[in-house]
Structure 1
Amino acid sequence: MKELFDFILKFGNLNKQQVDFISNKAIEIHLSKEEYFSEAGKIAKQVGFVVDGILRVCYYNNKSEEITKYFIEENNLVVDLESFDNQMCSSSYVQAVTDCKMIIFQRKDWLELLQTIVGFDAIVHKIISRALIQKVERRSPLVSEDATTRYLKFLEIYPTAVNRIPLSYIASYLGVTQSSLSRIRKNIR
């Protein structure tokens, strides 16, 4: 729980009563490797915080190929925001890449926190804004670069994750085949 509050308090202040109220709504869960946090075709019902582990957001394109959009590491919130906020079916999967320890909030509890704690909505807005900026910063350079540069950028963005993520997921994220990625890795060593 400490990790969650260390994270939240970077974006605003909470008193002890507010921290206790949040703690009472929090549920600690464990996701096994390859288990889904949320799924395409279903409505997202929870907000999570990654204490330990890595998740990925992925979807299937019109050729039924699995595409990894991005990864979510420790000390980050995870939610399919559009599905969660608008109560509509998601188009993406959020899947555990490794075994994960998470703190989650059910939708009704999260909404209660937002309505009850003065200033919590502003804190959450700052967290979401930061996440959206990070997402754009991480994806934008990957669009126009060659495969080797994209891989080097990946290493820069996810320095502690590279040895914990299967090559097939990294290749999908970079938009290259697994054999191409293996060649790239061999050439830069």
Structure 2
Amino acid sequence: MIKNAPTAIAKFATMDEMVEYVLQFGNLNRQQIDVIAEKAQKLELKKEDYFSEAGKIAKQVGFIVEGILRICYYDNKGQEITKYFIDENNFVVDLHSFDDKVPSSEYVQAVTDCQLLVFSQQNWEEIANTIVGWENIVNKIVKKSLIQKIERRSPLVSEDATARYRAFMEKYPQLLNRIPLSYLASYLGITQSSLSRIRKNIR
């Protein structure tokens, strides 16, 4: 069941986490940071709300201040597949849909209650037009994100289910107790009962 994302938006008191993240990829002066802060708005999502939906054009870029989102889709058998999870201090956007203004093929859904800083398409473009070097910063962030996607997916191709779960435990210990077993099983490509057996055997 698809739920509509909340529309109530208010300003965040602080942007420290996002600014600290962005400064890993380039330099910004105080005035430029203020420009970004002026364009940012707060979005709160409840668990299972959608940040963006398949069949619709993605219209905002988000930065996760608190919570976990997942990227998922339905296969040709109608089964829901979780591709990967995104947690705090990361940007989230369906880039192909957002940039090219085409309907998305995936859902971005809140796994937990979430707080995000969001930028509309217009505000995002205004930042790019105002801040020299912003596009270079964004390109570096996108490149890092693509590398992370490959790292998330590649172990799922070559390892057995137990090894995949162990790898997830080691790489994302902060997510383990925050993600429903059904989502984690879908991400690992196994049934929930199989995941339960693996967890028992590891304990």
Q: TM-score range by the shorter chain?
A: over 0.9
The answer to whether the aligner puts 1:140 opposite 2:154 as a matched pair is yes
The answer to whether the aligner puts 1:154 opposite 2:154 as a matched pair is no
CA distance in 1, matches of 2:59, 2:124: 10
The answer to whether the aligner puts 1:174 opposite 2:188 as a matched pair is yes
The DSSP-based 3-state class of the residue aligned with 1:148 is helix
CA distance in 1, matches of 2:105, 2:125: 23
What is the match of residue 57 of structure 1?
71
Map of 1:84-103 to 2, 5 A cutoff? Answer: 84-103=98-117
Q: 2:54 aligns with which of 30, 33, 40?
A: 40
TM-score by length of 1: 0.99
CA distance in 1, matches of 2:163, 2:178: 20
Shift of residue 41, structure 1, vs aligned partner: 0.1
Residues 125-157 of structure 1 deviation map (CA, whole Å, 9 limit, x = unaligned): 000000000110111111111000000111123
CA distance in 1, matches of 2:168, 2:118: 28
Contact 1:45–1:107, Cα closer than 8 Å, also in 2: yes
What is the match of residue 202 of structure 2?
188
The answer to whether the aligner puts 1:77 opposite 2:91 as a matched pair is yes
What is the match of residue 38 of structure 2?
24
TM-score by length of 2: 0.92
The DSSP-based 3-state class of the residue aligned with 1:163 is helix
Shift of residue 60, structure 1, vs aligned partner: 0.2
**2:18 aligned partner, one-letter code:** L
What is the match of residue 7 of structure 2?
none
Q: 2:81 aligns with which of 53, 60, 67?
A: 67
CA distance in 2, matches of 1:62, 1:185: 29
Aligned residues: 189
Q: CA RMSD in A?
A: 0.6
Shift of residue 166, structure 1, vs aligned partner: 0.1
Moved more, 135-144 or 75-84: 135-144
**2:74 aligned partner, one-letter code:** Y
CA distance in 1, matches of 2:198, 2:106: 28
CA distance in 1, matches of 2:99, 2:36: 19
CA distance in 2, matches of 1:46, 1:106: 5
Contact 1:51–1:75, Cα closer than 8 Å, also in 2: yes
Contact 1:138–1:157, Cα closer than 8 Å, also in 2: no
Residues 72-117 of structure 1 deviation map (CA, whole Å, 9 limit, x = unaligned): 0000000000000000000000000000010000011001111210
**1:21 aligned partner, one-letter code:** V
